[in-house]
Structure formats: C-alpha cells, structure tokens
C-alpha cells in the first residue's frame, strides 16, 4: 500500500468532512492504516473501512479501527486507493459510485506509476464528470454522483471483478487474487515435483485460491488434515468452493498473516510458494519471515516443500531452521527446495 497515496487521500477525506455542515457517512475502500485515521471525528460522523487482507486489517485494529469485507449502505463520500489488479479496482469504482448518495463524491488517489491517468479517464467514462490534481508523484481525482452515471458500464465492471469459474485454471477465482486467471508457473512446477502421495497432517501456506491444494488432494488419499492459510480473505472464499468436493479430508481454513501470527503446528509437511511483494514493492524479508514460520510449524522430521525464484536469498533462513535441505530442481527461473526439520 503506497503511504503517500493513502496520506493524500485521507487528507482529502478530512477536508471533505470539514466542509460539511451535516454529519457525514464516509466509506474507505482498500483501507490502510495511517495516523490520519485517528483524526476522523467519530462522534459526529459514521465510517466504514473495507479491507480483506489480514495484515492490513490487523494494522487498522492496532489503531482501534474495525474493518469489513464489503461496504454496505449509502455514503456521502467514499475514498479509494487502487489495488494492483485493474479489474478489481474498476469493480470497486463502480460499486462506490452506486453506493453514493445523490450528491455523494468518490475520491481516488493513485500513484502515477500505477496507471493514475488511466484510472482518472475510466472514472470520467463511468461518472460523466471528473476533476483532478497531482502531488507527490500521485494523482488525486474525484467524481460526483449524478444522472450521468453510466449504469451499464458500472454493472459491466462489477461483473468483471466478481468471482467466477476460470477455464484455464478449472477453478473458481476472481481478479485481485495471486495468479487469478492462469496457473502460476512456480506453483505448477512445485505441484509437478511433489511426492506422489502425501499423508498425515499438512499445510498449504499462502494457499491462494487452492490451486496447489486441489492438485494434491486429487492424488493423495491418505491426508488426514489439511490446513489452508492465506492473508487474503477473498482467496480463502474461493479455496473453500474449489475444495468442496474433497469430503474425505479435514480441511481447516485460516485467515492469518503468516509473517506475524501463530500458525497450526506439529505438522508432517508444509508446501509453500512464498510472496516477496507487498503491493507493488518488493519485500524479500516478507518471504523470509513466512519461510521461518513454515519451518516452525513442522514437527521433528517434518518436510518442507518450497518453490521460489532462483535469485531470492532464502537458504540462510532454511539453514537456521531446518536440520537439512537440498535444492531439488531449477527450471524456468524457479528453484525447488526440499527440507527436513
């Protein structure tokens, strides 16, 4: 989440509130923790913060703020920081415009490098009006609800951002999830090289929409329990639907931030394709923390099955937390590593 963009956006929201003579109902989509949120005058106004990522929700909670999966009701003003995935962001824009009161306002702040001008143009096409300014390598643009709102375009954007079956995956998915519309090559490589039959109690850490779990469960009849962990609530929703057919295995879904929260433990094995980005920014230490957490979740003798980009420096973490590990394969820019605790 871009700090400059959220700060600029929240300042715009506070300015909007200050200019009103009546109580304001404010919504924030893709809300991020920011000290300015503590300035929201909660005694006179009402607020809803939408966020489905566990790490961001925990950061908001640390400020004493609750978040929800979806905004509900109508709003005088909605604030939005675009996500990395365009279809998801356009769906948010469309939903926001539909939830505004007759004189309501949507305010968006977007870093220039994330396609700010394109989003500004799209908002103009949707709303029939848009105004903008720029600051700190970001664009701040807004639109008011009016009779010019293109309802047909709004419904199209909402439909394209919704969950659906994706043929290339053979699974239920939605824009905004990791590798949402095609198999990730690293995950596919890992799946192709895993032991043919896993058993006992395991975990798919960073399970996403359930691509790895679905592949494993098709061929492993002796898995007693499979824990599915992800930081994104929407990914877990899709995973539940994708794994519904596997009735013989106890499936447990955990909405957790693996870099900071306690994971299920004493496991026979963990499979992992760790993230190394936060939004648009590379965060190698994030992957390192999650690998360390995966190792801690294993029982003595438990196995770790890991895929990662070849350039990522994970070996020191593995050496510190495992009894042994070996590089299994390198292909297509990825490395496979098997470890034992």
For 312-337, what is the HEC assignment? CCCHHHHHHHCCEEEEEEEECCEEEE
pLDDT greater than 70 at residue 136: yes
CB environment 111-132: b (16+ within 10 A), e (fewer): beebbbeebbebbeebbeebee
Interval 298-339: pLDDT, tens: 999 999 999 999 999 999 999 999 999 999 888 899 999 999
CATH for 3-160, among 3.40.50.150, 1.10.3720.10, 3.40.50.1820, 3.40.640.10? 3.40.50.150
Whole-number pLDDT of residue 41:
77
Average pLDDT, integer, range 140-159:
97
Q: Tell me the average pLDDT of the chain.
A: 94
Q: Which of 148-152, 155-159, 329-333 has the lowest mean pLDDT?
A: 329-333
Sketch the domain layout of the chain as residue ranges.
3-160, 164-340
Whole-number pLDDT of residue 3:
74
* 164-340 CATH: 3.40.50.150
Selection from 2, 52, 45 nearest residue 20 by Cα = 45
Whole-number pLDDT of residue 279:
65
Query: Which tops the pLDDT comparison, 246 or 42?
Result: 246
Instruction: For residues 177 and 181, give the distance between their C-alpha atoms in angstroms, rounded to a whole number.
Output: 9
Average pLDDT, integer, range 54-79:
96
122, 93 Cβ separation under 8 angstroms: yes
Selection from 152, 102, 146, 101 nearest residue 127 by Cα = 146
CB environment 176-213: b (16+ within 10 A), e (fewer): bbbbbeebbebbbbbbeebeeebebbbbbbbbbbbbbb
Instruction: For residues 231 and 331, give the distance between their C-alpha atoms in angstroms, rounded to a whole number.
Output: 28
By CB neighbour count within 10 A (0-12 exposed, 13-18 middle, 19+ buried), where does 156 fall?
middle
Average pLDDT, integer, range 64-72:
96
Whether 164-340 and 3-160 are alike in CATH topology: the answer is: yes
Instruction: For residues 183 and 212, give the distance between their C-alpha atoms in angstroms, rounded to a whole number.
Output: 10
Q: Which of 7-16, 238-247, 277-286 has the lowest mean pLDDT?
A: 277-286
231, 258 Cβ separation under 8 angstroms: yes
Output 258-261 pairs: Cβ under 8 A, ≥24 positions apart: 258/205, 258/206, 258/229, 258/231, 258/289, 258/290, 258/293, 258/294, 259/55, 259/286, 259/289, 259/290, 259/293, 260/55, 260/58, 260/289, 261/54, 261/58
Strongest mean pLDDT among 40-49, 112-121, 271-280: 112-121
Whole-number pLDDT of residue 42:
75
DSSP state of 70: S
Cβ within 8 Å of residue 327, ≥6 positions away? 335, 336, 337
Query: Which is it for strands 277-278 and 100-111: parallel, antiparallel or unpaired?
Result: unpaired
Whole-number pLDDT of residue 196:
82
Average pLDDT, integer, range 82-90:
95
Instruction: For residues 82 and 30, give the distance between their C-alpha atoms in angstroms, rounded to a whole number.
Output: 7
CB atoms within 10 A of CB 299: 14
Interval 224-280: pLDDT, tens: 999 999 999 999 999 999 999 998 789 999 999 999 999 999 999 999 999 876 766
Average pLDDT, integer, range 174-190:
96
pLDDT greater than 60 at residue 1: no
Whole-number pLDDT of residue 333:
93
287, 276 Cβ separation under 8 angstroms: yes
């Amino acid at each position: 989440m871009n700090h400059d963009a959220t700060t600029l956006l929240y300042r715009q929201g506070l300015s909007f509130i200050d200019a009103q003579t009546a109580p304001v109902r404010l919504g924030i989509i893709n809300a991020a923790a920011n000290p300015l949120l503590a300035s929201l005058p909660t005694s006179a106004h009402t607020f809803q913060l939408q966020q489905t990522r566990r790490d961001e929700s925990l950061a908001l909670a640390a400020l004493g703020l609750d978040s929800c999966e979806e905004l509900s009701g109508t709003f005088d003003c909605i604030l939005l920081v675009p996500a990395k995935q365009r279809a998801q962001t356009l769906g948010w824009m469309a939903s926001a415009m539909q939830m505004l009161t007759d004189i309501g306002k949507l305010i968006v702040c977007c870093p220039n490098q994330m396609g700010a001008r394109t989003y500004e143009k799209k908002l103009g096409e949707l709303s029939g009006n848009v105004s903008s300014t720029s600051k700190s390598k970001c664009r701040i643009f807004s639109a008011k609800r009016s009779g010019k709102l293109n309802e047909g375009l709004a419904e199209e954007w909402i439909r394209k951002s919704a969950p659906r079956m994706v043929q290339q995956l053979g699974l239920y998915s939605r824009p905004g999830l990791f590798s949402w519309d095609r198999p990730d090559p690293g995950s596919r490589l890992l799946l192709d090289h895993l032991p043919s039959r896993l058993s006992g109690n395991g975990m798919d850490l960073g399970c996403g929409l359930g691509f790895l779990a679905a592949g494993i469960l098709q061929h492993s009849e002796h898995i007693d329990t499979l824990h599915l962990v992800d930081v994104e609530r929407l990914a877990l929703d899709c995973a539940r639907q994708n794994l519904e057919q596997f009735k013989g295995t106890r499936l447990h879904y955990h909405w957790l931030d693996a870099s900071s929260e306690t994971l299920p433990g004493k496991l026979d094995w963990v499979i992992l394709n760790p993230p190394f980005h936060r939004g648009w920014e590379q965060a190698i230490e994030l992957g390192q923390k999650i690998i360390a957490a995966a190792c801690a979740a294993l029982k003595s003798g438990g196995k770790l099955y890991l895929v990662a980009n070849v350039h990522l420096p994970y070996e020191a973490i593995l050496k510190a937390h495992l009894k042994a590990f070996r590089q299994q394969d390198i292909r297509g820019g990825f490395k496979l590593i098997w470890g034992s605790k």
